[in-house]
Amino acid sequence: MKSETKTCQNCKQKFVIEPDDFTFYKKIKVPAPTFCPECRRQRRLSWRNDIHLYHHTCGLCGKSIVSIFAPDSPMTIYCNKCWWSDKWDARDYGKDIDFSKPFFEQFRGLQNAVPALALINDNDIASVNCEYTQDVAFSKNCYMLFIAWKMENCLYSRYGAQGKDIMDTETVAGACQFVYDSIFINKCYHCRNIYWSTALVDCAFCYDCRGCSNCFMSFGLRHKQYCFKNKQYTKEEYEKIIADYRLHAWTGVQRAKQEFENMIQQYPRRFANLWHCVNCTGNDMLHCKNMKDSFNVWKGENCRYFENGDGPKDSYDISIGGEHNQCYESITPDHSYRNLFTIFSWKNSEITYCENCHSSKYLFGCSGIKKGEYCILNKQYTKKEYNIFRKKLITHMKDAGEWGEFFPGSLSHFGYNETVAQDYYPLRKRETIARGLRWRDKLQFTTGKETIRFQDVPDSIDEVQEKIINEIFSCEQCARNFKIVPQEYMFYKKMRIPIPRRCFYCRQAERIHFRTPSRLWHRTCQCAGEKSGNKVYQNTIKHFHGTNHCPNGFETSYAPKRKEIVYCEKCYQQEVV
Ligand SMILES: [Zn+2]
Ligand SMILES: [Zn+2]
Ligand SMILES: [Zn+2]
Ligand SMILES: [Zn+2]
Ligand SMILES: [Zn+2]
């Protein structure tokens, strides 16, 4: 098969389908996509509300609960315990297929009828005290934690495994403790503001450092101690420098942040963070093989357009997933085989167009089924009937242009601005509505209820007293009111971190902005011989290409117009490793 250039049905841009892609689509028996990869991702993400939590009431036991669904949602919401119990059966909501109506419309009707799970977490089952978390499992004492597992005492963080006592992080890849405001870290202890780093102890404001302790404001160090701005000092000198910065004070942190941001622009960046990867394109990958256009992933194999997760195999178009095989266009098809077009459905095989179905096989267009088989629109069929109706329904969907497409964003449970799509593909209200998507006017937060001004909060955390947990702050960026929870206060005191002046939502947006987008551009190495092309960075040794410009090209998530200096692996290794 040859590659084929298509025009995206949504954005009208051209995109290419490669021979390997066709082989995959053929294997799982779906037609080639009509949306480009970006539009497919945006459509999936418009079905994910990860961080906006609301108060709700369980429709079965009447308990007050936390939910990803706003109180005005048309759905009945069940708490964890009720939803997973056998006090109800999703098959009771089964419907006949109506071949006079589009499938997506019928499925939406079913979604509205079947009780929804308030939050995707296992609080009170395998997790303890994790009420305010979404997509979290096997964790303890966590608050505002999202897409993580095996975490303890973690707050205001996203994407993590096996972290303890951490706050304000993105992508903790394992065994970290006492870490604050950091991204993509592994095996770090007692650190703050560290980025793309491994095995650091007592470090602050470090970028791509490994195996270091007591380093501050440094870039690309390996196995160093007592370094400041990449320069070696004695223990006494180092301690004086770091004390002078007053990182326990708000003003001290602002100065350090500014200097750090300027400093890291002076160094070349590796074109992509691919650690122990073979034949991969993408970014932020660890121990992967044949993964293409994929981001933030561990131990993946043979996938394309995968983002966020570990152990995916042979799958395409997955937004967050783990240990799944031959899945396509799905949101968290964890531990499943051939989930096609599914949302939050785990441990299944051969299910298509389903949401919240678990430990099941052979389902089509189902919602909320547990341990089921041969159901369509939640109605039970025999194996023979199932196969006949499945085929007939697919033909019906083909006629309506639905077969092979993910659920349209216009049918999403959430307002576009509530979803992850808004973080990566921001739209204004008018634009959103013009595209037929929904907008949520009232995201649940208050403003104007503040009881204290930041100028009345002591600069240093050392002088802040416990009564601060009774105060209400107003985010200096978005004016949203927020409080400091007791667990958070204790963390600030122990780590000597000043009280933040921005709410969690603005702090997270800042971290997202610090990362490059999940998209690739073809570029050439910016090493011009002895210096970087923009003359900012002077190479420290002679490179393989001598005084000529480096000839290497690559796929990078640094867009061409960005100001970072981007080096190929070879040039980067000569400078940094
Ligand atoms: Zn498109
Ligand atoms: Zn309940
Ligand atoms: Zn804010
Ligand atoms: Zn190069
Ligand atoms: Zn070079």
Looking at the CA of 544, name the nearest ligand.
Answer: 5
Residues 527 and 533 sit within 8 Å (Cβ to Cβ): yes
Give the environment of ion ligand 2: residues with CB less than 5 A. 58, 60-61, 79, 82
Give strand pairing partners of 297.
285, 309
- 133 CA from centroid of ligand 4 (Å): 43
Looking at the CA of 87, name the nearest ligand.
Answer: 2
pLDDT at 70: 92
Looking at the CA of 567, name the nearest ligand.
Answer: 4
- 264 CA from centroid of ligand 4 (Å): 19
pLDDT at 171: 93
Looking at the CA of 83, name the nearest ligand.
Answer: 2
- CA-nearest of 120, 128, 110, 569 to 375 is 110
Distances (CA, A) of 263 to 31, 242, 500, 577: 49, 16, 23, 19
- Distance of alpha carbon 362 from alpha carbon 224, whole angstroms: 55
Q: What is the DSSP string of 6-34?
A: EE-TTT--EEEE-HHHHHHHHHTT-PPPS
Residues 355 and 346 sit within 8 Å (Cβ to Cβ): no
pLDDT at 201: 98
Looking at the CA of 539, name the nearest ligand.
Answer: 5
pLDDT at 173: 84
Give the environment of ion ligand 1: residues with CB less than 5 A. 8, 10-11, 36, 39
Looking at the CA of 67, name the nearest ligand.
Answer: 2
Q: At what angle do helices 235-245 and 250-264 cross, to 10 degrees?
A: 110
- 426 CA from centroid of ligand 1 (Å): 15
Strand 116-117 versus strand 143-149 pairing type: unpaired
- 64 CA from centroid of ligand 2 (Å): 8
pLDDT at 278: 97
315-338 CB burial, b ≥16 within 10 A, e <16: bbbbbbbbbbbbbbbbbbbbbbbb
Looking at the CA of 269, name the nearest ligand.
Answer: 4
Give strand pairing partners of 522.
555
- 529 CA from centroid of ligand 1 (Å): 38
- Distance of alpha carbon 420 from alpha carbon 518, whole angstroms: 13
pTM of the predicted structure, to 2 decimals: 0.93
Looking at the CA of 270, name the nearest ligand.
Answer: 4
- 291 CA from centroid of ligand 1 (Å): 22
Residues 286 and 301 sit within 8 Å (Cβ to Cβ): no
- 122 CA from centroid of ligand 2 (Å): 13
- 544 CA from centroid of ligand 5 (Å): 7
DSSP 358: B
Looking at the CA of 13, name the nearest ligand.
Answer: 1
Looking at the CA of 526, name the nearest ligand.
Answer: 4
Strand 473-474 versus strand 379-380 pairing type: unpaired
Looking at the CA of 84, name the nearest ligand.
Answer: 2
Express each pLDDT in 153-166 by its tens digit: 999 999 999 999 99
Number of H helices, E strands in the chain: 12, 33
- Distance of alpha carbon 566 from alpha carbon 269, whole angstroms: 5
pLDDT at 442: 73
- 408 CA from centroid of ligand 1 (Å): 14
- Distance of alpha carbon 423 from alpha carbon 513, whole angstroms: 9
pLDDT at 443: 74
Looking at the CA of 502, name the nearest ligand.
Answer: 3
- 513 CA from centroid of ligand 5 (Å): 28
CA dihedral 237, 242, 246, 252 (to 10 degrees): 120
- 303 CA from centroid of ligand 4 (Å): 27
Strand 361-364 versus strand 268-270 pairing type: unpaired
Q: How far apart are the first and last CA of the chain?
A: 41
Looking at the CA of 40, name the nearest ligand.
Answer: 1
- 523 CA from centroid of ligand 4 (Å): 11
Residue 453: how many other CB atoms lie within 10 Å: 10
Q: What is the DSSP string of 439-478?
A: --S--S--BS-----GGGS-SBGGG--GGGGG--EE-TTT
- 549 CA from centroid of ligand 5 (Å): 7
Residues of the chain with pLDDT under 70: none
- CA-nearest of 517, 516, 520, 538 to 529 is 538
- State the amino acid at position 368 in one-letter form: G
CA dihedral 267, 291, 333, 95 (to 10 degrees): 120
- 268 CA from centroid of ligand 4 (Å): 10
- State the amino acid at position 62 in one-letter form: G
pLDDT at 38: 96
Give the environment of ion ligand 5: residues with CB less than 5 A. 527, 543, 550, 571
- 481 CA from centroid of ligand 3 (Å): 8
Looking at the CA of 11, name the nearest ligand.
Answer: 1
- 211 CA from centroid of ligand 5 (Å): 25
pLDDT at 445: 80
Angle, vertex CA 495, rays to CA 489 and CA 501, nearest 5: 55
- 548 CA from centroid of ligand 5 (Å): 9
- What residue ranges in 264-358 does DSSP mark as E strands? 268-270, 274-275, 282-286, 294-298, 304-310, 316-322, 328-331, 337-343, 349-355
Going by C-beta distance under 8 Å and a sequence separation of 6 or more, which residues neighbour residue 434? none
Looking at the CA of 61, name the nearest ligand.
Answer: 2
Give the environment of ion ligand 4: residues with CB less than 5 A. 525, 527, 550, 552, 568, 571
